[in-house]
Amino acid sequence: MKKYTKIIYLFLLLFASIGFYSCDSDKKKDATETKKVSDDDKIVDGIHVRTGLKDGKGVLVVAHTCTVCHSADIVMMNRMNEERWNETIKWMQKTQGLWDLGENQKIIVDYLTTNYPMPKATRRANLKNINWYDLK
Partner 1 sequence: MKRRQFISKTALSSLAVLAGTNVVFGSNMPEGYEPLLNAENDPFKMFGLDNDMTVLNKRPWNIEAKAHLLNDRITPSKYMFIRNNGLIPEKIDADKWVLTIDGESAKTTKTYTLKDLKTKFKQHTYQLTLECGGNGRSEYNPPAKGNQWTIGAVQCAEWTGVRLKDLLADVGVKGDAVYVAYHSADMHLSRDPKKEAISRGVPVAKAMEDEALIAFKMNGEDIPLAHGYPLRMVNGGWPASASGKWLKRISIRNIVHDGKKMGGHAYRMPKHPVAPGTKVKEEDMAIIESMPVKSLITYPKSGATLKEGQTLKINGHAWAGDLQVSKMQVSIDFGATWQTCKLEKPVNRLAWQHFSADIKFPKKGYYEIWAKATDSKGKSQPMLVPGWNPKGYLNNACHRIAVKIK
Using CB under 8 A as the criterion, which residues of the chain lie in contact with partner 1 when the complex forms?
A: 1, 6, 9-10, 13-14, 17, 20-21, 24, 64-65, 67-71, 73-74, 77-81, 84, 88, 96-97, 99-102, 104, 118-119, 121-125, 127, 130-135
Which residues contact residue 20 at a Cβ distance below 8 angstroms, ignoring those fewer than 6 apart? 30, 34, 60, 61, 64
Vertex 51 angle, CA 30 and 67, to 5°: 85
Least distance to partner 1, CB of residue 110, Å: 18
User: What does the alpha-carbon distance between residue 31 and residue 37 come to, in Å, rounded to a whole number?
Assistant: 10
Least distance to partner 1, CB of residue 75, Å: 10
Residue with smaller CB distance to partner 1, 45 or 103: 103
